[in-house]
A = this chain, B = another copy of it.
């Protein structure tokens, strides 16, 4: 199951929509895996979901228990370095949206 196993709302979501450049796919994937691993160890982390088209357009949504947890992760030193590299080399454009999840509903097999 590649869905985040989030609790009953309310909780928070960071929607990161991005367009990858074609540069440095190996470095990018190594860093992306590392950041998921590191995020999952942060206080308040609830899960992450991610999909990317072959065209390079991708959406990653991470889930958190509070705005404070999101802010702490944003300021994590290793994450800051990854964000800088992302801005410079890996993404031609992106938009980050910080959201409060108010309700959810599901179908599971």
Contact = CB atoms under 8 A, between A and B. Distances in A.
Copies in the complex: 2
Contacts of A61: 15, 17, 59, 61
Interface string A24-55: 00000000000000000000000001111110
Nearest to A96: B105
Interface residues of A, number: 41
A interface, over-half SS: strand
Interface in A69-84: none
Given A15-B61, A107-B91, A98 B101 contact: yes
A51 B52 contact: yes
A20 to B, nearest CB: 11
